[in-house]
């Protein structure tokens, strides 16, 4: 239960941190790079979407801009007579012409042609009161008397970096109406009645389907063509086409008329090009194409932002929980599955559902969750290692603990031949003493003697192999090789003998009976390693060298330190040693020479 709670709390913390970045769009540049890749979808365009551009050649032939309105009226009339479905003017006609006759000609054409859409332009403040506000300072309306259906706005909001990625479907006016975008008006001329784009009860819809826009009525769309991708008919050429050519170019078409010259401005960067700008009239043409193809994208922002938060929490929890419990290699595989899996899901949601899921933030949550799980695993293993080390150090020397924890080989069955000195220690007289005192006191006395042995062995870097009842087995020279292991073993034995004197005196005073050590030492080759079963290992030494040390200990009298010939040859220059002659030991056909260590020689 504690692990589950920790996992949930960790996921909540990651969600809060990454969610704050998500809510504030802190990684905008990274996130929008994914959006651009998803929405950059070059595709065939409808030939019925036609651009008439006010280009440099037309300006050269017709003179300085602006041109007389009567020229526009004449072109609109010719295009309509050619059979166009609708004509959208990406031109601001909010001021009367200097020639009233021009305005009269224009008004006459607009009255007779209800399928001509005129541009409205909103003047917005440099900064809105809140992120979802669309309050404007001024609305530039056409000066001509036309109905609502012949009006649309041509405003385009560029994102950070001055790149256009979204359609502003509509702007609420101060009189309470919603003024649609020029692209919306024109797209409805191409769409069947069941697929018309409408604004009803505060929601944008295409047919029966709701379009989930952001707070500003914006919708991501996929550009169909890069800058210059649409076929553009120069304004001057359109004016001078013969009727037959006009009909071939404009029959059943949606015609957009707008600036197509750098000198007239009206250019924006788009996801289709990092450097080349696109004319506004081309952007509107791309918007019409995307609305016709339904190649726009729902996002989970605004009121649906909670879905993004839920995604962050679920992905954080699953990634942390599963990778924390799995083995390291499997945890990495799971991390890749989540990482790649979510990327695939985001792409499929875009392709199949026209849904733009947040990409950078969930991926970041997955990465952070995996990293935290690895760090927690490392800290937990360190803690467990320290716990095991502390516990294990009570039974064996620190050297054995370090070797077992650091070496994989130390955890397997088998051993290595090494030259070592074996020590066996037994407490002489302990059995009679245990019969005279209480069990609790027996344990106390035994612990004091065994602690004395342990401290002496560790003081000279020996390995406390095991406790054998009221005795001790120790190894000098393994697992850490020691060139002077016989000398260290003898000095450890002398320290035990010296320390036992004080204990013996105290026992005599308290119980009228004392005990002392019998110690046997032997040097030689032995097999050192893990002996036992796969699930139960015992680090120890085996071989004749071990048996000989044990036999010497069994022959040692209370207070005696007996060493073999091999040990004597290695330490005789440093210690006072008395030969005891040869004795018969179990397992040996011939008697063996035995020596008693009396103490260190004076320097």
Q: Which H, E and C letters describe 490-545, residue by residue?
A: HHHHHHHHHHHHHHHHHHHHHHCCCCEEEEEEEEEEEEEEEEEECCEEEEEEECHH
CA distance 403 to 454: 19
The partner residues of 270 in beta bridges, in order of sequence, read 273
Q: Distance (Å, rounded) from C-alpha 422 to C-alpha 473?
A: 7
pLDDT mean by block of 10 residues, the chain; 603 residues = 79 91 86 81 90 95 92 95 95 92 93 95 86 86 94 91 90 92 96 93 90 87 90 94 93 96 90 88 95 87 81 92 88 93 90 86 94 89 74 57 57 76 91 80 86 91 87 90 94 94 84 85 91 71 93 92 96 94 84 94 78
Count of alpha carbons within 13 Å of 603, Cβ hemisphere only? Answer: 0
Q: Is 243 helix (H, G, I), strand (E, B) or coil?
A: helix
Buried b (16+ CB within 10 A) or exposed e, 118-150: bbbbbebeeeeeeeeebebeebbbbbbebeeeb
pLDDT in tens, 246-302: 999 999 999 999 999 998 988 999 998 878 999 999 999 999 999 999 888 888 876
| Per-residue model confidence (pLDDT) at position 303 | 67
Closest CA to 270 of 234, 231, 224, 301: 224
Instruction: Identify each DSSP E strand in 212-346 by its residue range.
Output: 218-221, 232-234, 254-259, 267-270, 273-279, 296-299
CA dist., res. 586 & res. 594, Å (int): 14
User: What pLDDT is attached to residue 433?
Assistant: 78
- Supply the angle between the helices 2-23 and 305-325 in degrees, to the nearest 10: 140
Q: Give the integer Cα–Cα distance in Å for 71 and 79.
A: 12
What's the pLDDT score for residue 299? 82
pLDDT in the model for residue 287: 95
- Predicted confidence at residue 201, as pLDDT, reads 87
Query: Is 53 within 8 Å of 260 (Cβ atoms)?
Result: yes
Which of 334, 364, 325, 306 lies closest to 14 in space, CA to CA?
364
pLDDT of residue 397: 57
- The pLDDT of residue 127 is 82
Spatial neighbors of 304 by CB under 8 A, at least 6 apart, are: 212
Query: How far apart are alpha carbons 473 and 542 in whole angstroms?
Result: 12
Q: Would you tell me the crossing angle of helices 100-112 and 69-81 to the nearest 10 degrees? A: 20
Q: Judging by DSSP bridges, how do beta strands 116-123 and 86-89 pair with one another?
A: parallel
């Amino acid at each position: 239960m504690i692990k589950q709670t920790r996992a949930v709390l960790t996921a909540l913390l990651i969600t809060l941190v990454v969610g704050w970045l998500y809510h504030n769009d802190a990684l905008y540049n990274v996130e929008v790079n994914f959006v651009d890749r998803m929405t950059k979808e070059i595709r065939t365009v409808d030939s019925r979407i036609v651009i008439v551009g006010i280009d440099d050649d037309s300006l050269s032939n017709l003179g300085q801009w602006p041109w007389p309105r009567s020229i526009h009226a004449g072109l609109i009339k010719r295009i309509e007579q050619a059979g166009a479905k609708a004509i959208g003017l990406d031109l601001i006609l909010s001021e009367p012409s200097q020639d009233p006759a021009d305005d009269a000609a224009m008004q006459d054409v607009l009255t007779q042609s209800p399928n001509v859409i005129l541009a409205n332009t909103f003047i917005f403040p440099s900064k809105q009161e809140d992120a979802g506000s669309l309050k404007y300072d001024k609305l530039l309306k056409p000066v001509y008397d036309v109905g609502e259906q012949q009006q649309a706005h041509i405003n385009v909001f560029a994102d950070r970096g001055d790149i256009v990625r979204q359609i502003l479907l509509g702007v609420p006016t101060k009189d309470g109406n919603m003024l649609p975008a020029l692209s919306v008006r024109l797209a409805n001329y191409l769409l069947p009645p069941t697929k018309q784009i409408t604004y009803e009860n505060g929601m944008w819809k295409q047919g029966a389907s709701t379009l989930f826009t952001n707070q500003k009525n914006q919708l991501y769309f996929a550009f169909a063509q890069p800058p210059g991708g649409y076929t553009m008919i120069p304004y001057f050429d359109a004016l001078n086409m013969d009727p037959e050519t006009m009909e071939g170019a404009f029959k059943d078409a949606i015609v957009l008329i707008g600036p197509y010259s750098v000198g007239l401005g009206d250019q924006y960067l788009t996801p289709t090009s990092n450097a080349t700008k696109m004319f506004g009239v081309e952007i509107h043409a791309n918007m019409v194409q995307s609305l016709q193809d339904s190649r726009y994208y729902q996002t989970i922002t605004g009121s649906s932002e909670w879905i993004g938060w839920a995604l962050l929490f679920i992905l954080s929890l699953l990634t942390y929980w599963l990778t924390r419990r799995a083995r390291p290699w499997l945890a990495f595989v799971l991390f890749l599955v989540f990482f790649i899996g979510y990327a695939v899901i985001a792409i499929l949601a875009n392709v199949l559902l026209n849904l733009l899921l947040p990409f950078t933030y969930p991926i970041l949550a997955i990465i952070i969750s995996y990293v935290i799980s690895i760090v927690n695993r490392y800290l937990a293993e360190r803690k467990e290692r320290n716990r095991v080390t502390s516990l294990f150090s009570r039974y064996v020397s620190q050297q054995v603990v370090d070797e077992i924890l650091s070496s994989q080989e130390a955890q397997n069955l088998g051993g290595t031949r090494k030259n070592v000195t074996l020590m066996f220690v037994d407490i002489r007289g302990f059995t009679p003493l245990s019969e005279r005192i209480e069990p609790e006191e027996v344990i106390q006395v035994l612990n004091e003697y065994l602690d004395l042995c342990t401290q002496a062995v560790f003081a000279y870097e020996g390995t406390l192999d095991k406790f054998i009842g009221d005795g001790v087995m120790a190894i000098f020279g393994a697992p850490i090789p020691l060139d002077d292991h016989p000398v260290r073993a003898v000095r450890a034995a002398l320290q035990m003998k010296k320390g036992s004197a004080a204990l013996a005196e105290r026992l005599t005073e308290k119980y009228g009976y004392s005990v002392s050590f019998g110690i046997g030492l032997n040097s030689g080759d032995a097999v050192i390693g893990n002996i036992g079963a796969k699930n139960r290992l015992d680090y120890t030494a085996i071989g004749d060298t071990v048996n000989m040390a044990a036999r010497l200990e069994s022959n040692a009298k209370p207070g005696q330190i007996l060493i073999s010939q091999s040990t004597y040859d290695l330490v005789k220059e440093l210690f006072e040693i008395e030969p005891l002659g040869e004795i018969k030991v179990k397992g040996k056909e011939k008697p063996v020479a035995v020596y008693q260590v009396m103490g260190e020689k004076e320097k």
